[in-house]
Amino acid sequence: MIQLHLLAVLMGCLLDFCFGDPRWLWHPVCGIGNLIGKLEKTFRGRFSKGEKGERLAGRWLVFFVLLITGAIAALLLTGAYLISPYLWFALESLICYQMMAWRSLRSESMKVLTAFKNGDVEEARTAVSMIVGRDTKSLSEEGIAKATIETVAENTSDGVIAPLLSMIFFGGIGICLYKAVNTMDSMIGYKNDRYLWFGRTAARLDDVCNYIPSRISAGLMMAAGYLCQLFSRQTINGTKPYNGNMGVKIFKRDRFHHKSPNSAQTESVCAGVLQIELAGNAYYFGKLYEKPTIGDPIRPVEYIDIRRANDLMTVTYILALAPVVILLFLTA
């Protein structure tokens, strides 16, 4: 069973690496999102407005989303196992494949790079608006590139390493529950008038669930920074675009330069390794939010840094998968 589970992890990651998320294939996260939307309407109508009522409604939403998601995953996996362990393996592989986001994150972020290469700034702005929550209409070319890099850096943890760890340690049920928490945070975890109190429980639960994975991700990314520096043949003014020592330095200094206890963990490493400055003030829903910067502007941000951030994410991902491969061989 351990071997089948580890194989399911690798198979799911391999499928994601090869195919990503085909648009024609229904995605479980869409189902979770629809569930969140329906439960929001239900519970908002049953509790009074104001802080107390909205907090309580938000807690019930979180409870039922996790209960329903976990129950469906458990029933499907248990039923598959009772029929055949190999059917269970196939289902676990499929769940892992659909919940991992390396390919889709890389593909969507590289669309911004492609648009820049084609000289189409408006297309780059449209592409980045699909993967970030901030307002993008007023972003400069550098701002578009920075927003894309920040998203890749942050989601290296949220979309790649954290779900992978959930899958490794808690199986198909664990990764489904993690994605449910992550989806709730992305839908209702905002500090605006609509979700300040209603989404508070979802946002805090997401912080808790990502606390350890974000730090593991940062550690892996620091190691990846050294590997990228070692094997890179690129140079900028005679210097390699990756710097492992700077990744460690900026991580130590800037890893808490964010209201979230987790988001700046990998962003700080990425900024340091690439020797650029990220974050800073940004507009969300038409309102300016003052945010500290992350990293040092040793060199200006350029759109090719989007590819470098993706390469850093990919090496981080490979390092996270390496123990799975080793353990699989040891248990063979």
- pLDDT digits 0-9 by tens, 31-90: 999 999 999 999 998 888 888 999 999 999 999 999 999 999 999 999 999 999 999 999
Confidence category of residue 239, pLDDT binned at 50, 70, 90: confident
Q: For the chain, what is the radius of gyration of the CA atoms? A: 20
Q: Which residues pair with 287 in a beta bridge?
A: 284
Percent of the chain with pLDDT over 70: 98
Q: Are residues 102 and 16 in contact, defined by beta-carbon separation less than 8 angstroms?
A: yes
Three-state secondary structure of the chain: CHHHHHHHHHHHHHHHHHHCCCCCCCCHHHHHHHHHHHHHHHHHHHCCCCHHHHHHHHHHHHHHHHHHHHHHHHHHHHHHHHHCHHHHHHHHHHHHHHHCCHHHHHHHHHHHHHHHHCCCHHHHHHHHHCCCCCCCCCCCHHHHHHHHHHHHHHHHHHHHHHHHHHHHHHHHHHHHHHHHHHHHHHHHCCCCCCCCCCCHHHHHHHHHHHHHHHHHHHHHHHHHHHHHHHHCCCCECCECCCCHHHHHHHHHHHCCCCCCCCHHHHHHHHHHHHCCCEECCEEECCEEECCCEECCCCCCCCCCHHHHHHHHHHHHHHHHHHHHHHHHHHCC
Q: Mind listing the pLDDT tens digit for each residue in 122-145?
A: 999 999 999 887 778 888 899 999
Q: What is the pLDDT of residue 170?
A: 96
Q: What is the mean pLDDT of the chain?
A: 93
Q: What is the pLDDT of residue 26?
A: 83
Q: Mind listing the pLDDT tens digit for each residue in 154-210?
A: 999 999 999 999 999 999 999 999 999 999 999 999 888 889 999 999 999 999 999
Q: What is the pLDDT of residue 330?
A: 87
Please enumerate in sequence order all residues whose Cβ is within 8 A of that of 61, keeping only pairs 6 or more positions apart, or say none: 36, 39, 40, 43, 184, 188, 198, 201, 202
Tokens of 138: 């007023």
Q: What is the pLDDT of residue 1?
A: 81
Percent of the chain with pLDDT over 90: 80
Least confident of 71-85, 89-103, 120-134, 293-307: 120-134
Please say if the pLDDT value at position 285 is more than 80: no
